[in-house]
Amino acid sequence: MKRIILLLLLISIFSISKTIKPRVIRGGDRGYRGGDPLGISTIEASSQATSVGLFASTSANIENQNRYSREEIFLKRNRKEVIKDISIGRGEYLYTLLELMKIEPTQDRVQKLQRNINRLSKLNNREFLNRCRELIKS
């Protein structure tokens, strides 16, 4: 699957890059004297190439985000801070994670997570989130 997506991405990049036509602007074309003092032709060509690069980068990010939920991505990036907030029973990272999970951060729910922090900290991200949901529902 990854190879197919990569292949399609490369094909689209090469097909787009073939349509980029460099355009030379001479000083006399727009009232400038003495050549291209602003480097307009260089700016135009580089912006077209940058657009192709941004397209490729964005496509890869979209594929990655489709594979993981928002809360998994958040937990992957902020795991240490989330565990720290759970251990003290409050904090921005904990509240943000609960919000992403669509869970109201009540004192009782936070205490359930707090009591199980040792077990939670040993789980991978997906298991961590599933166990948090189970604890909160119980």
Provide the pLDDT for residue 74: 95
Q: Could you identify the residue written with the tokens 């961590």?
A: 128
Stretch 19-23: mean pLDDT, rounded?
Answer: 57
Provide the pLDDT for residue 17: 57
Q: What percent of the chain has pLDDT over 90?
A: 48
Quick: pLDDT tens for 64-93: 555 678 999 999 999 999 999 999 999 999
Provide the pLDDT for residue 77: 96
Give, in order, the Cα–Cα distances in Å from 57 to each of 9, 46, 64, 112, 133.
10, 16, 11, 40, 33
Stretch 1-5: mean pLDDT, rounded?
Answer: 73
Phi, psi torsion values for 11, nearest 5 degrees: -60, -45
Provide the pLDDT for residue 62: 53
Stretch 99-123: mean pLDDT, rounded?
Answer: 94
